[in-house]
Structure 1
């Protein structure tokens, strides 16, 4: 094997002989020499190494044309128009195409085969200028992610706009680079270093474990943070409608699925507005209360008022993309309002125990599940998380209908869900405080346990938040 760095225009970019075509957007290159044009044609046709490109330039422009070519090539890399790969020579005598990467194994001289084993790809926005290979031992960063993208094993580091695709032959390098190694070819290390996939420092200076800025991050948390807060590192940022050509948008209301329903009284908002404490007073009084008045539990009227004031649907509309949208008391990105609340009742005057769903459009409760082992597990978990001495009177399970958000949004879809959970938490806290109820938001929950109790598919609708709710004990008044 003789690994060599080769280059070509990235996908969607080609040279017509007169200008660059960036996916239908022409870019004119001024004062191109014949040699530069020949080299650009080679980059447009496929992977070429520096020797091949230089030969094309010198054949038409002479040796003096190389400096101008190198300046043009660097500019193309700085603009992210070129991608690089590692090509190796083997003794296979036939041409073939790798079914995994789609890269061609070209027949070379004397019956050898040229195979692309690794490719540096632009997945966001930025430069593709190659970094040098590390001088000493190298290993993969502990933050490097490996996943399958379009049938190809792909590595990417959090916040980076480049990724490295590996052919099956090169996949074993991942094991080699799990620890500090000197056995990986320098051209492949250059691609990995350019994509930020190698650990900084060295065996004696492993800053990923010794420096707080690196050590404090869990790899999954950093990947999530970087993907959703670094637009240049990913495509599909914002309202891209990634599923719009395959699925219709989900309706604003889930289908009725309750065993039976309980109508909730509609509170008099004018009377409430006249009697409510001021916003400043509510904000100052707001706190988490981890105890309930078990002798005088919360009532149907109180639960209904809290739900009505916090998340009833006040109206519907249709977006320009055809998606049904909603208006509720709390904000939601794009007005998608994907959150549903499931009151899990153990003690509420006027509401039988069980798992209920709040229908925001009809202001009523639908019984989803009778009390049983599955609902008891959810109650026990909430009791432990809130550090209650007795079972909570009501657990408000906040679930997300993910398709409502993911049909429209791509990179920012799940972060939007979490932001919505936060504003709903605060809304419930403030309304419950104004009503003199006890409320406590929980930091975690079990979406699998909710799926068991509710029968919901957790990939379509799963819990993303929980709060415990009840009457406020006298001493907490």
Structure 2
């Protein structure tokens, strides 16, 4: 026997506020109407655990007296259930076993009223399963519900719904569940936006990903934007109580140190092209001069674009919970999590090889790795630039992502991509001002720089690449 049950989300409380029944929940507070002891008692039953709506109605009828008839209280109950849709959990059971539970994830979560159609239906292409707590969870960036799959038979039904099926075809595929349980599961999935008609026309299109979107990009976009969801978001310092913040500058890598030239910024300011000239002439250039970039030019370039200008200690009493640096480009939360790794192909005064840039000491540290490693990075740059000649220097932008995730929840990766864009533009502008050939790469294989520079693939993640070289001589 299939039973539909309701419960209030854990932590929800009921209050009599000036004669109005007010329900306080994770999204705030909702007033459902006049406070009555009968209605409050019924809703407190939902707070205690899953109960059927019919069971609540019976409680109200049982408590009714001649002077307080049941019907007005039942109407208040139905109104309260409608108003509390964003904090009500909906459970489907079969033979006293919970099959699935729909959990609202946002205040705008609306449980659909239309039953699942008789025509073939299919799971939304943005839907995905993942472990959450002790059960599997069905989620989608296009739904404001999570459906907990709490019985293996419900999971088998999801597998069958990966292709368009009718109710009869679903029943033949999942023989362990009676027809009414499968119908209830279909209705729950349809009402929460996971199941769509698969017949021709616009209704079938609703099951597909939006045009121009890939699954992983849609998921990342939804997960990295603000909004009232059942997750932490923003500068909430999720790791503050479990580990110290990563240092503001990456620890020095072992290896031979190459001190870099520090340009006279006063002279640079007097002799540089105007900002408007630099901005208007910025372009991606993939042709390089006969003579290579010099070590002095490389030092001046890195100094102007990426050095540490200031270093400030943590001051929790002032709201600065970790040490921060100031650099020529801005960074979310002054985290400055981006590191620069260099594959040097040709540079007058510097050996061909791999290096890490120390922005505090303004120096390069030579890293292990033979000529073949440099060649692999240059091969990737050629593939990304349509076979252009190799640059003098291939820069890999690497994010120490925990500098951001220590402070920010839910959107640290999105922030590091924005920071990368800011740094790439700074590299462009400085290169243009210096008369160099510079070009950002639009993609690449993360494994190549991870292996080349000996990175931790989840703590130090490649997020960009940039090419630098001397400019060809004008004819």
| TM-score bucket of the superposed structures, by smaller chain | 0.7 to 0.9
Deviations 1:11-62 (A, max 9, x none): 2214489974547989887642232122112101110111101111222232
Post-superposition offset of 1:232: 3.5
Structure-1 residue corresponding to 2:164? 180
| Cα distance change on mapping 1:24 and 1:16 into 2, 3 Å | farther
Count of residues in Structure 1 that have an aligned counterpart in Structure 2: 447
Q: Is the contact between residue 209 and residue 215 of structure 2 (CA under 8 Å) also seen in structure 1?
A: no
Post-superposition offset of 1:194: 3.2
Q: Is the contact between residue 33 and residue 76 of structure 2 (CA under 8 Å) also seen in structure 1?
A: no
Structure-1 residue corresponding to 2:100? 118
Q: Is the contact between residue 133 and residue 187 of structure 1 (CA under 8 Å) also seen in structure 2?
A: no
Any unmatched runs of 5+ in structure 1? 90-113
Give, in whole Å, the separation in 2 of the partners of 1:260 and 1:326.
25
Q: Root-mean-square deviation (CA), in Å? A: 2.5
Q: TM-score w.r.t. structure 2 length? A: 0.88
Give, in whole Å, the separation in 2 of the partners of 1:405 and 1:378.
27
Deviations 1:285-332 (A, max 9, x none): 111111111x31001111111111111111122252521211111111
Query: Greater CA deviation, 154-163 or 18-27?
Result: 18-27
Structure-2 residue corresponding to 1:92? none
Structure-2 residue corresponding to 1:133? 115
Q: How does 1:451-462 map to 2 (within 5 A)?
A: 451-462=450-461
Deviations 1:411-431 (A, max 9, x none): 111110100111111100011
Post-superposition offset of 1:244: 2.0
Deviations 1:371-427 (A, max 9, x none): 333332112111221234432210011000011111111211111010011111110
Query: Greater CA deviation, 127-136 or 365-374?
Result: 127-136
Structure-2 residue corresponding to 1:76? 84
Structure-2 residue corresponding to 1:384? 383
Give, in whole Å, the separation in 1 of the partners of 2:165 and 2:207.
22
Q: Is the contact between residue 160 and residue 233 of structure 1 (CA under 8 Å) also seen in structure 2?
A: no
Post-superposition offset of 1:166: 0.3
Q: Is the contact between residue 5 and residue 90 of structure 2 (CA under 8 Å) also seen in structure 1?
A: yes
- Do structure 1's residue 304 and structure 2's residue 303 form an aligned pair? no
Give, in whole Å, the separation in 2 of the partners of 1:353 and 1:423.
28
Q: Is the contact between residue 237 and residue 409 of structure 2 (CA under 8 Å) also seen in structure 1?
A: yes
- Do structure 1's residue 37 and structure 2's residue 40 form an aligned pair? yes
SS in 1 for 2:262: coil
Structure-1 residue corresponding to 2:372? 373
Give, in whole Å, the separation in 2 of the partners of 1:300 and 1:27.
66
Structure-2 residue corresponding to 1:282? 278
Q: Is the contact between residue 198 and residue 204 of structure 2 (CA under 8 Å) also seen in structure 1?
A: no
Give, in whole Å, the separation in 1 of the partners of 2:82 and 2:202.
32
Give, in whole Å, the separation in 1 of the partners of 2:474 and 2:28.
70
Deviations 1:115-155 (A, max 9, x none): 11111112333335343332232210111121111232111
Query: Greater CA deviation, 329-338 or 250-259?
Result: 250-259
Match of 1:56 among 35, 39, 59: 59
Q: Is the contact between residue 352 and residue 371 of structure 2 (CA under 8 Å) also seen in structure 1?
A: no
Q: Is the contact between residue 292 and residue 469 of structure 2 (CA under 8 Å) also seen in structure 1?
A: yes
Give, in whole Å, the separation in 1 of the partners of 2:336 and 2:142.
29
SS in 1 for 2:430: helix
Post-superposition offset of 1:193: 2.5
Q: How does 1:91-106 map to 2 (within 5 A)?
A: none
Structure-1 residue corresponding to 2:49? 46
| Cα distance change on mapping 1:240 and 1:439 into 2, 3 Å | same
Any unmatched runs of 5+ in structure 2? 65-69, 171-181
Q: How does 1:82-93 map to 2 (within 5 A)?
A: 82-89=88-95
Post-superposition offset of 1:230: 5.4
| Cα distance change on mapping 1:25 and 1:139 into 2, 3 Å | closer
SS in 1 for 2:325: strand
Give, in whole Å, the separation in 2 of the partners of 1:68 and 1:344.
70
Q: Is the contact between residue 121 and residue 166 of structure 2 (CA under 8 Å) also seen in structure 1?
A: yes
Structure-2 residue corresponding to 1:342? 341
| Cα distance change on mapping 1:147 and 1:271 into 2, 3 Å | same
- Do structure 1's residue 214 and structure 2's residue 210 form an aligned pair? yes
Q: TM-score w.r.t. structure 1 length? A: 0.87
SS in 1 for 2:184: helix
Post-superposition offset of 1:370: 3.6
Structure-1 residue corresponding to 2:418? 419
Post-superposition offset of 1:278: 1.1
Post-superposition offset of 1:280: 1.1
- Do structure 1's residue 191 and structure 2's residue 188 form an aligned pair? yes
| Cα distance change on mapping 1:234 and 1:474 into 2, 3 Å | farther
Query: Greater CA deviation, 55-64 or 284-293?
Result: 55-64
Deviations 1:229-264 (A, max 9, x none): 352445222112222222211111111113111001
Give, in whole Å, the separation in 2 of the partners of 1:146 and 1:54.
35
Give, in whole Å, the separation in 1 of the partners of 2:258 and 2:390.
23
SS in 2 for 1:215: coil
